[in-house]
A and B are shown apart, each in its own frame.
Chain A
């Protein structure tokens, strides 16, 4: 199963006629591709940050509800619906006559172009990734011993200090694995860029797909894929912790 990945590395050294070359790597370091890589990272970073901002309070509040396992299941449930269908639904909601625009009309803002903008791209991506961010944070918070919080409060710490000094550091592992499972796929998203962002946003994943299936330049596509793999490994090293044995 490792063989296909080695094949990608091999292909990244071939040009479009199958000759051995380093030209693809030279091409990757030209401004066009570097800019694309940077913007891809920027979008992935934004998506991860926004998901974290929404997911942390959600997970935190969830651990404080009754029947929390059931609520958690309800949060995860939408992530089992086919991804394409959710993206398709947003085409309707964000469309010119869709629900979002109708809402804007009510508030007196008026119709806006929402589909095919950065906003819609980030919103939909966050929507899709949020369950994957909530889950590890929820698990980390759930394992947290409540007596730590009581102790901190008894010692006179304010709510905010308790959060900053006790709760957040103790759940940091969950945050890290959440970031990992959001950031890596966010780098390689490609159908969302087509459907929601209308080709305005080009991620590394879109570029790979483009080179493989549209321009048929497998060499260049593989080169980008190699960089995608490298960034993936770097992110895994940065966010990995030794204890974690897998996805669970």
Chain B
């Protein structure tokens, strides 16, 4: 019995520490004094501030547009890529492509950011919206591939044989048999890409020029100047938004049967 309570205490402490910073931010977002200590009185002025700050709102909009666009495009590209890899007959090429894919997932953001900065400069793409979008697509595609591929692999080949025997064309097989089967994987990939894109700081920091910025980069530059409770108000809203996303993701993976792991992109 004593052992049991000890383990409960340990878990409670871990959970407390994990959530403390988030609630700390939320708590002080209602502080009428402008600091992250000495709670003076309840107020919503920082929320008012936030919604009057058009610059910040435009940045939020930019971030969402980039996230939605890049994850939609990379979901399409990644699904095509996954079907392509799955379709390959040669085992060796398959393995090479898969390990290249893994390297791209594991490689640190700094490297992805730096290499894209070099590439955009050489090719002559102006730093800004398009460069951020392209780099986000680039780091999302491998994630989508990783999410879609297991679904393809678990699909029984007799399904396709049956469809072909019944006279379906290749195109029909793809749209009527394969795609419906892997839809849960595609959705999971899309959600994953969306969260990675919303969360990304390092890559964006490298390839964003003057004048264009996403939320992470903006928070970074605001935080370097010191505490501003507008960030707290913003983070409260973002937290609620994230919870909504997670609930959505949870139900999708529930249908999938298991919670799919997260990568380590920072």
Check if A and B associate. Answer: yes
Residues of A within 8 A of B (CB): 1-5, 7-8, 11, 54, 57-58, 61-62, 64-65, 69, 71-93, 95, 97-99, 102, 127-132, 135-136, 139, 180-182, 184-185, 187-191, 194-195, 204-205, 208-209, 212-213, 218, 221-222, 225, 228-229, 232-233, 236, 245-248
Contact B235 A185 (CB under 8 A): no
Is B215 part of the binding interface, using a Cβ–Cβ cutoff of 8 Å? yes
**Contact between A191 and B262 (Cβ–Cβ < 8 Å)?**
no
Shortest beta-carbon distance from B106 to chain A in Å? 6
Tell me which residues from 34 to 54 in chain B have a Cβ below 8 Å from any Cβ of chain A: 35-38
Interface centre among A77, A204, A236 (most CB of B within 10 A): A77
Known contacts: A76-B262, A194-B224, A228-B111. The answer to whether A8 contacts B216 by CB under 8 A is: no
Q: Which residues of A contact B15 (CB under 8 A)?
A: 74-75
Residues on B with C-beta less than 8 A from A77 are: 242-243, 246
Which residues of B have CB within 8 Å of A85?
22, 25, 219, 231, 235, 238
Report the minimal beta-carbon distance from B61 to chain A, rounded to whole angstroms.
Answer: 16
Q: A83-B266, A97-B37, A212-B206 are in contact. Are A248 and B114 (CB under 8 A)?
A: no
B36-A92 in contact (CB<8A): yes
Whether B111 and A86, one on each chain, are in contact in the complex, defined by CB atoms closer than 8 angstroms, is no
> What are 21 A-B contacts defined by CB distance under 8 Å?
A1-B100, A4-B118, A58-B10, A58-B14, A75-B14, A75-B15, A81-B238, A83-B199, A85-B231, A85-B235, A88-B231, A89-B235, A90-B21, A92-B28, A95-B37, A102-B37, A129-B264, A139-B261, A205-B110, A213-B206, A233-B103
Q: Which B174-199 residues have a C-beta within 8 angstroms of A?
A: 195, 198-199
Please give the residue numbers on chain B whose beta carbons come within 8 Å of chain A beta carbons, in ascending order.
7, 10-11, 14-15, 17-22, 24-25, 28, 35-38, 98, 100-112, 114-119, 122, 138, 141-142, 146, 149-150, 195, 198-199, 201-202, 205-206, 215-216, 219-220, 223-224, 227, 231, 235, 238-239, 242-243, 245-246, 250, 259-266
B19 x A247 contact (CB < 8 A): no
Between A1, A2, A93, the greatest number of chain B beta carbons within 10 A of the residue's beta carbon is seen for A1
CB distance from B23 to the nearest CB of A (A): 9
4 closest residue pairs by CB, A with B: A4-B115, A92-B36, A181-B264, A188-B108
- Asked whether A83 and B227 contact (CB < 8 A) given A4-B115, A246-B105, the answer is no
State whether A8 touches B102 (Cβ < 8 A).
Answer: no
**Which applies to chain B's interface (DSSP): helix, strand, loop or mixed?**
helix
**Known: A58-B14, A82-B199. Contact between A93 and B105, CB under 8 A?**
no
A145 to chain B, nearest CB (A): 18
Which of B21, B115, B265 lies in contact with A7, CB distance below 8 A? B115
B230 to chain A, nearest CB (A): 11
If over half of A's interface residues share one DSSP class (helix, strand or loop), that class is named, otherwise mixed; here it is helix
Residue numbers in B under 8 Å from A190 (CB-CB): 110, 202
Are A62 and B11 neighbours in the complex by a CB distance under 8 Å? Answer: yes
Cα distance A84–B224 in the bound complex, in angstroms: 11
**B146–A247 contact, CB under 8 A?**
yes
Residues of B within 8 A of A74 (CB): 15
From A88, A93, A99, A184, contact of B106 by CB (8 A): A184
Closest Cβ–Cβ distance, residue A160 to chain B (whole Å): 13
A236 touches B106 (CB 8 A): yes
Question: Given A61-B7, A188-B108, does the pair A84, B220 have CB atoms closer than 8 Å?
Answer: yes
Cβ–Cβ contact A191 & B242, under 8 A: no
> B188 to nearest A CB, angstroms?
10
B261 touches A84 (CB 8 A): no
Residues of B within 8 A of A84 (CB): 201, 216, 219-220, 223
A111 to chain B: closest CB distance in Å? 12
